[in-house]
Amino acid sequence: MLTYEFPLNEKSRTYLRFDALFQQLKANQTFELPAHAFSFFRALFDFIELSERCDIRTDLMKDLEKQRQKLESWSQLPEVDLQKLSSLQAELAALIYELPRSVRAGSRFKEDKFLCAIRQRFSIPGGLCPFDVPILHHWLGLPLAARLADEQGWLGELDLLIRATERLLQLWRDSGSFGDQVARNGFYQANAENAELIRLLVDQAQGHYPTMSGHKSRFALRFLPLGDLETGDIHFQLACC
């Protein structure tokens, strides 16, 4: 089963893009091979470019506050684990307090001479050869401990934004429960009132992948074949979050 996530508005689309970049940074932070470093820097520079277009701190603060208020109402329910609820509320309160008081994530990267020296080369096909970027070749030859120290400094700049984005998306994801659905001849449409994103679980053995159109409260899914398969009824699970 593969999980697909589709945003229902521009704000959730931005969150998912940032989160995807954060996951790429974490997946390649070991620097065991030069390829790990290349993937890490590519994700880091994509983050810098995306963050230059938008500053999501205010939206994150507002959405986390909405989640904090929801948790407050849950405290009256008899089956709620009050200790876990209190811990989560404290975490959200800390993030809400820190976000507006923090500097714009990634703003200090513009002052990093090493990152500035190599950033442009990542947009050039084949532009990472040692003769193109000797400073990067030199950095890759440093002891692993030195490279990891640099990496921890870069990730430290993003720590607050990573924690806030991951916590919000987790709360959204946990708010939706999956239900069985069928796309007749590969097509399905429905309403998603007050949802930020939809999540799908699709059996890969069916040989089809989903695409989505629409936004806000109404959406349509179309399942397309990978190859020359005929499209019939596609079974999947859907959660509106």
Query: What pLDDT, on a 0 to 100 scale, did the predictor assign at position 131?
Result: 87
Under 8 Å between Cβ of 34 and 28: no
Q: Which residues pair with 3 in a beta bridge?
A: 201
Query: What pLDDT, on a 0 to 100 scale, did the predictor assign at position 194?
Result: 84
Query: What pLDDT, on a 0 to 100 scale, did the predictor assign at position 237?
Result: 96
Gap between the Cα atoms of 236 and 101, Å rounded: 43
Under 8 Å between Cβ of 31 and 72: no
Query: What pLDDT, on a 0 to 100 scale, did the predictor assign at position 197?
Result: 92
Site of tokens 């397309």: 224
Segments of the chain with pLDDT less than 50: none
Q: For the segment 215-233, what is each residue's pLDDT rounded down to a tens digit?
A: 777 899 999 998 888 888 9
Gap between the Cα atoms of 169 and 16, Å rounded: 8
CA dihedral 37, 60, 171, 68 (to 10 degrees): 140
Q: Which of 163, 185, 166, 186 has its CA nearest to residue 174?
A: 166
